[in-house]
Amino acid sequence: MRPILLQGHERSLTQLRFNSEGDLLFSCSKDHIINVWFSHNGERLGTYEGHNGTVWTIDTDSQSRFLVSGSADNELRLWNVSDGKCLYVWEFPTAVKRVAFSEDDERVVCITEQRMGHQCVIRVFKLNRDGDGTAQSLEPEHMFSPIGSKATVCAFTYTPNLIITGHESGKIALFDVATGTEVLNNERAHMDVVTDLQLSTDRSYFVTSSKDKTARIHDTKTLRVLKTFTTETPLNSAALAPNKPYVLVGGGQEAMQVTTTSLRQGKFETRFWHKVFEEEVGRVKGHFGPINTIAVHPAGTSYASGGEDGFVRVHHFEESYFRAKPYGDLQLED
Amino acid sequence: MASFNGTSHNPIDDELDFSDIEAKYRVDFDDGFDSVIVVDGVPVIDRSKLDKLLAKISKEFSRRGAVIKPDNIFVPWDDNAGKTKGFIFVDFGNPDAAAFAAGAMNGHPFDAKHTFHINRFTDIERYASIDETYVEPTVEEYRPKEHLRAWLADSQGRDQYVTYRGDDVEIHWHGKPSQCEVAYAKKNWTELYASWSPLGTYFATLFRQGVRLWGGPSWEPQHRFAHPLVKLIDFSPCENYLVTWSHDPISVPANLPQGPEFFSPEDEGNNIAVWDIKSGQLLRTFPTTTDENEDPAMKKQMQWPALKWSSDDKFVARVTPGQHISVYELPTMGLHDKKSLKIEGVVDFEWCPHGEKDKEDAEKGAKPEKTEKGAKKRENMLAYWTPEVANQPARVTLISFPSRTVLRQKNLFNVTECKLHWQNQGDFLCVKVDRHTKTKKSIFCNLEIFRVREKDYPVEVVELKDTVTDFSWEPKGERFAIVSSNDPNLGNPGPGITIKTDIGFYQLDRAKNDFKLLRTLTSRTSNTIRWSPRGRHVVLATVGSSTKSELEFWDLDFSTEERREGQNVKEEWGSGIQQLGSADHYGVTDVEWDPSGRYLATSASAWRHTLENGYAIWDFRGQELEKHILDRFKQFIWRPRPRSLLTKDQQRQIRKNLREYSRAFDEEDAAEESNVSAELIAHRKRLLDEWNAWRARCKRDIAEEKRSRGQKLNGEHHEEEKEEIEEWIDEVIEQIEEVVE
């Protein structure tokens, strides 16, 4: 099927998210707007307007009831998914770079930027899910600052109160949010900034991408690197394809470093790697700027990529994708 | 004696054993007695004359410039005899003054009977403590050395290449896909770059301390040349000698060990050193030639190699631009005939390479009875050119050496620049002459081709309207290729500018005995010609451009079924030229054929840019065999091979029976292919099993953890929650009420 081009943003994309059923696709961008789309046909369902700066990050809960977003206007907002109303606003001294829901939808973690003398802070809020959602507590349940390199990405693990963080130095760490202590870390997980972190369906392993041109799969429990995918460009995003043993990675030379022209479009491809054999199996072209974010449909039937070029491309996998067995009949656990 | 114990924590030192070099360059500290000298031969006197004597000695010393006071003189006293002992100690306060005094006053006649003999106090100390008993020098046990050409005996006939990436130097075998492997790898093997000797025997790496040569199957150190801060090296064609260059002039510290392997004070201030590889001895050093009257702002890049070798390693020559060419004889490194070739205005020269025929002749020459007609040993030849100076035309001269007879001279006019290109068998010399029009506004090009093997050295001129940017002879062939351009941007490179070029192929027409155009390929961007070392195949590459990076693979004898030497195939002129393929290697900086002419390697080096560094290997048809994109990739070099030991007849025999050989090889290939795939499948199976085992463990862990928290498992309640919602949408399009009667 031809990819669906979603032209709803005027500036580069920052993050894409499917809801847990996969019928909705959320996108946020540097143009201050959050959009929601029907994933099957690319029709725009609506927007969430109110942020006054680049929206860096979004996440929805598993019931598609709440949406949280973090922005460069130093605000964390809670939205009602169905009608686009802003339910609550938290304000911080610096920009919000990453948000994520916990597995049970009860909590939200957010990372704020290290800037203007303020430290990078990780806060965990307990959401009040009763009523219309406007009655939230202003104060975070837990907050702490990681020592050393600042955190850039984070997510909850399957153990409550335990979060994984990726850091600017390339470190991956596990934090206990209640105490703010680093439970475990892998200092040499990457050699450069960790740009994205996405979990497997059961949260037992996760994939990270980094500017060091590699994407890696790690064990959530031990933080051991299980697989490494080496490319030749700095990577901005990596995602796991459910039901298929693939990892999707995307990136490209940063705009300010690109000195070459159309010939080098190869850099802006989404690459498919076999997650167990660490071999590249395919590429999808299309963007004409670096890919900033990739999200895969939770059923593994389609994926979306958002680029520096301001476009979101939704690709529905064709029949041949599901039939193809490039490595023969393998019994592979997801 | 206090000494600096050099333990630095540089990782290189951990890898390589430099303790001997460290010991050599160890810094000795003063021990305080360096300023004291011992004067022998002083008259033996009694106490009454002492003051007078000391005053006299002080005066004698001061007269020679070594000022001392009587207070600084210590006179040992023989109490029994009541007289002096005949020697004195003099303290100068600093070692330099003491050294000066020792030099100035040693052997000084004090009076008719007494002559001073001066030694440093520390020296006496040292010689006094030498062990008197004779120790038999231990004879080092004979250790057989590894064969330096062992790689040629590889059972699969593979070639080797070296890659240098980050700090890692690796030597690879290259053959069929399954036979490619790393032969040897070492971290920090070099600090600058690596290099092979011209016949592939040695592998040279450069360190701050000097050059090291390695070889043999286990890559043991073979030789070492201590030239601190060496930057450039050059081997002689037969691998007998090595030339090194350092930007920093040689300086000889006081305690540098002496010996034929080391610099001596006479070498101080020079930059270039010539070494004998087999003995490791220093032969001679030279300063870098610089034109005194040259404008420093216009300073040209130094020519390298600065010393040019004749191809039999018998002579080495260097040019002093504008004045003379100095030829030195090996192995003495003495100036040949004790005088240079004085040539007013000389700019550049090249030795004539020796072809295979010459080498065979040279071998036959050793047995004079077999000398046939025409097998007369050819003398070395060299060609040089001089520019137009004061009404004298520019001139290319061919002289033989050592007889120094001029063989051929050709006058040229309106010359801006000449380049001398010898064909690698020494059959032809092409002088690429860049000429300017009378107005000096535009430049065009003449190719003056000397047919060196013919009588009287006939010269033929090929005139071209465009500027020729690259010229290349086909190895062992009678063809050459040129890159020419009339692009207005030529000469002012800028970002994003790609120069349009034309490629021309020329061949010697045996009937008419002149060079004729075979074919021109127009509007290309290629700027580099790389002939296969066996001729016939040629690759045109666009190197150093940020936008274009094309590789074109051409075959010049495509239609000829079998190329037989000496046989003229009747066919249309230039019809055999065929493009075999084209490819693209983004950001390519280097293009190199392997010694067999079957494979081509292209690399993008981090020394030039940092985009997609790495290397690729192609076959001669332009099919990519492997490609590695590696960060911080710096260097790729094939290991050269020496000349084949097979005679012409043997080679012909092989060519004849090629079909039989190839059948054996085909069988080998087929067997191997199935082998490889089996291996890969097994590898995948292992990965798969590991993964599945780990996943099973994970799932168990999660289930346990959730159960312990009293949660329900995701999978258990997932099914029941799933409900299907069907939406029925009724749309009323039109409603008409009609009254039915």
| pLDDT for the residue numbered A319 | 86
Residue B217: left if φ>0, alpha if ψ -120 to 50, beta else—which one? Answer: alpha
| pLDDT for the residue numbered A305 | 92
**Percentages of chain A per state (helix, strand, coil), in multiples of 5:** 5, 50, 50
| pLDDT for the residue numbered A255 | 61
> Are residues A332 and B688, on separate chains, in Cβ contact within 8 Å?
yes
**Tens of pLDDT along B458-484?**
888 888 888 888 899 999 888 999 998
B chain contacts of residue A221, beta-carbon cutoff 8 Å:
698, 701
B chain contacts of residue A234, beta-carbon cutoff 8 Å:
none
Angle at B556 between CA B555 and CA B562, to 5 degrees: 90
Sign of CA dihedral B316, B321, B325, B329: negative
- Judge contact between B619 and B627, C-beta under 8 A: no
Beta bridge partners of B466: none
pLDDT average, residue stretch A190-198: 91
Q: A27 falls in which pLDDT band (50, 70, 90)?
A: very high
User: Is any Cβ of chain B less than 8 angstroms from the Cβ of A260?
Assistant: yes
| pLDDT for the residue numbered B249 | 86
Q: B194 falls in which pLDDT band (50, 70, 90)?
A: very high
**Tens of pLDDT along B261-279?**
888 878 888 889 999 998 8
Beta strands in B6-124 (DSSP E): 36-40, 73-74, 77-78, 83-84, 87-91, 117-120
A chain contacts of residue B610, beta-carbon cutoff 8 Å:
none
Neighbouring residues of B562: CB distance < 8 A, sequence distance ≥ 6: none
> Are residues B611 and A259, on separate chains, in Cβ contact within 8 Å?
yes
| pLDDT for the residue numbered B3 | 43
Give the H or E element holding residue B100.
Answer: helix B95-105
Neighbouring residues of B678: CB distance < 8 A, sequence distance ≥ 6: none
**Tens of pLDDT along B406-443?**
888 999 888 888 899 999 888 899 999 988 887 777 78
* The residue to which tokens 């099993």 are assigned: B689
Cα separation, B440 vs B558, whole angstroms = 42
Q: A101 falls in which pLDDT band (50, 70, 90)?
A: very high
Looking at residue B412, its amino acid is L
Residue B141 has which token pair?
């046990």
**Looking at chain A from residue 164 to 203, which residues have their Cβ under 8 Å from any Cβ of chain B?**
202
Tally Cβ neighbours within 10 Å of residue A129. 13
Looking at residue B537, its amino acid is H
Q: Find how far residue B389's CA is from the centre of its chain.
A: 35
Residue B651 has which token pair?
């080679």
**Tens of pLDDT along A53-89?**
999 999 999 888 899 999 999 999 999 998 888 999 9
Residue A216, pLDDT above cutoff 90: yes
Q: A263 falls in which pLDDT band (50, 70, 90)?
A: very low
N- to C-terminal Cα distance for chain B?
Answer: 137
Q: Which of B611, B677, B686 to mutate to test the interface with A (most CBs of A within 10 A)?
A: B611
B chain contacts of residue A219, beta-carbon cutoff 8 Å:
694, 698
Query: Which of B614, B688, B714 minimises the CB distance to A276?
Result: B688
Cα separation, B716 vs B206, whole angstroms = 67
| pLDDT for the residue numbered B371 | 40
- What strand order describes the sheet that includes A312-316? A4-6, A312-316, A302-307, A291-296
Residue B157, pLDDT above cutoff 60: yes
Beta bridge partners of A48: A34
Q: B234 falls in which pLDDT band (50, 70, 90)?
A: very high
User: What percent of chain B is predicted at pLDDT more than 70?
Assistant: 88
B chain contacts of residue A232, beta-carbon cutoff 8 Å:
612, 614, 629
Cα separation, B715 vs B506, whole angstroms = 76
Query: Which of A260, A333, A334 minimises the CB distance to B546?
Result: A260
Maximum distance among all Cα pairs of chain A, rounded to whole angstroms: 56
A chain contacts of residue B688, beta-carbon cutoff 8 Å:
276, 330-332
A chain contacts of residue B714, beta-carbon cutoff 8 Å:
202
Q: For chain A, state the CA radius of gyration.
A: 19
Residue B367, pLDDT above cutoff 80: no
Nearest chain A CA: its distance from B304 CA (Å): 33
- Judge contact between B435 and B443, C-beta under 8 A: yes
Sign of CA dihedral B178, B183, B188, B194: negative
Alpha carbon of B40 to those of B72, B105, B109: distances in Å? 16, 11, 12
Q: For chain B, state the CA radius of gyration.
A: 38
Nearest chain A CA: its distance from B542 CA (Å): 15
N- to C-terminal Cα distance for chain A?
Answer: 26
Cα separation, B714 vs B703, whole angstroms = 9
| pLDDT for the residue numbered B8 | 45
Q: B4 falls in which pLDDT band (50, 70, 90)?
A: very low
Alpha carbon of B728 to those of A22, A43, A103, B731, B734: distances in Å? 22, 20, 34, 10, 18
Cα separation, B284 vs B126, whole angstroms = 33
| pLDDT for the residue numbered A172 | 92
Beta bridge partners of A118: A115
pLDDT average, residue stretch B168-178: 87
User: What percent of chain A is predicted at pLDDT more than 90?
Assistant: 39
Residue B522, pLDDT above cutoff 50: yes
User: Is any Cβ of chain B less than 8 angstroms from the Cβ of A204?
Assistant: yes
Specify the 3-state DSSP secondary structure of B343.
coil
- What strand order describes the sheet that includes B415-422? B415-422, B428-436, B443-451, B459-464
Q: B566 falls in which pLDDT band (50, 70, 90)?
A: very low
B chain contacts of residue A264, beta-carbon cutoff 8 Å:
586
- Judge contact between B555 and B540, C-beta under 8 A: no
- What strand order describes the sheet that includes B614-619? B590-593, B599-604, B614-619, B624-629
**Tens of pLDDT along A81-92?**
988 889 999 999
Query: Which of A232, A277, A333 minimises the CB distance to B629?
Result: A232
Nearest to A267, CA basis, from A258, A275, A280: A258
**Looking at chain A from residue 54 to 113, which residues have their Cβ under 8 Å from any Cβ of chain B?**
none
Tally Cβ neighbours within 10 Å of residue B464. 18
Nearest chain A CA: its distance from B586 CA (Å): 9
| Residue B529: CA count within 13 A, CB half-sphere | 25
Query: Which of B614, B692, B701 minimises the CB distance to A332?
Result: B692
Q: What DSSP letter does each residue of B537-596 carry, written as one string?
A: EEEEE--S-SS--EEEEEESSSS-SS--TT------TTTT-EEEEEEE-TT--EEEE-TT
- What strand order describes the sheet that includes A225-230? A194-199, A205-210, A214-219, A225-230
Nearest chain A CA: its distance from B540 CA (Å): 20
Residue B62, pLDDT above cutoff 50: yes
Long-range contacts of B214-219 (CB under 8 A, 24+ apart): B215/B146, B215/B148, B216/B145, B216/B146, B216/B147, B216/B148, B216/B150, B217/B146, B217/B147, B217/B150, B217/B151, B218/B146, B218/B184, B219/B171, B219/B184, B219/B186
Query: Which of A219, A259, A276 minimises the CB distance to B687?
Result: A276
Summary mean pLDDT of chain B: 82
Long-range contacts of B573-576 (CB under 8 A, 24+ apart): B573/B509, B573/B516, B573/B518, B574/B505, B574/B507, B574/B517, B574/B518, B574/B519
Q: What are phi and psi of B82, to 5 degrees?
A: 70, 25
Angle at B96 between CA B91 and CA B101, to 5 degrees: 60
Alpha carbon of B738 to those of B471, B730, B732, B734: distances in Å? 96, 22, 17, 13
Nearest to B351, CA basis, from B421, B454, B451: B421
Residue of A nearest to B609 (CA): A259
| pLDDT for the residue numbered B647 | 85
Residues of B at the A interface (Cβ-Cβ below 8 Å)? 495, 546-547, 586, 611-612, 614, 629, 631, 684, 687-688, 691-692, 694-696, 698-699, 701-702, 705-706, 709, 714
Nearest chain B CA: its distance from A333 CA (Å): 6
Cα separation, A306 vs B209, whole angstroms = 54
Neighbouring residues of A213: CB distance < 8 A, sequence distance ≥ 6: A230, A231, A232, A233, A234, A235, A251, B631
B chain contacts of residue A204, beta-carbon cutoff 8 Å:
698-699, 701-702
3-state secondary structure B655-721: HHCHHHHHHHHHHHHHHHHHHHHHHHHHHHHHHHHHHHHHHHHHHHHHHHHHHHCCCCCHHHHHHHH
pLDDT average, residue stretch B76-93: 81
Cα separation, B600 vs B620, whole angstroms = 7
Residue A107, pLDDT above cutoff 50: yes
> Are residues A213 and B631, on separate chains, in Cβ contact within 8 Å?
yes
Neighbouring residues of B703: CB distance < 8 A, sequence distance ≥ 6: B713
| pLDDT for the residue numbered B714 | 52
Q: A256 falls in which pLDDT band (50, 70, 90)?
A: low
> Are residues B691 and A261, on separate chains, in Cβ contact within 8 Å?
no
> Are residues A221 and B691, on separate chains, in Cβ contact within 8 Å?
no
Cα separation, B167 vs B634, whole angstroms = 10
* The residue to which tokens 């192609």 are assigned: B618
Tally Cβ neighbours within 10 Å of residue B677. 10
pLDDT average, residue stretch B231-237: 91
> Are residues A159 and B698, on separate chains, in Cβ contact within 8 Å?
no
> Are residues A259 and B546, on separate chains, in Cβ contact within 8 Å?
yes
Nearest chain B CA: its distance from A313 CA (Å): 27
pLDDT average, residue stretch B306-322: 88
Residue B113 has which token pair?
């009977």
- Judge contact between B146 and B217, C-beta under 8 A: yes
Alpha carbon of B174 to those of B151, B342, B623, B644: distances in Å? 12, 49, 16, 19
> Are residues B696 and A333, on separate chains, in Cβ contact within 8 Å?
yes
Most confidently predicted of A218-232, B21-35, B107-121: A218-232
* The residue to which tokens 């060079």 are assigned: B515
Residue B296, pLDDT above cutoff 60: no
Query: Which of B691, B699, B714 minimises the CB distance to A332?
Result: B691
Nearest chain A CA: its distance from B306 CA (Å): 37
- Which burial class, exposed, middle or buried, applies to B144 when counting CB atoms under 10 A from its CB (0-12, 13-18, 19+)? exposed
- Judge contact between A75 and A54, C-beta under 8 A: no
Residue B295, pLDDT above cutoff 70: no
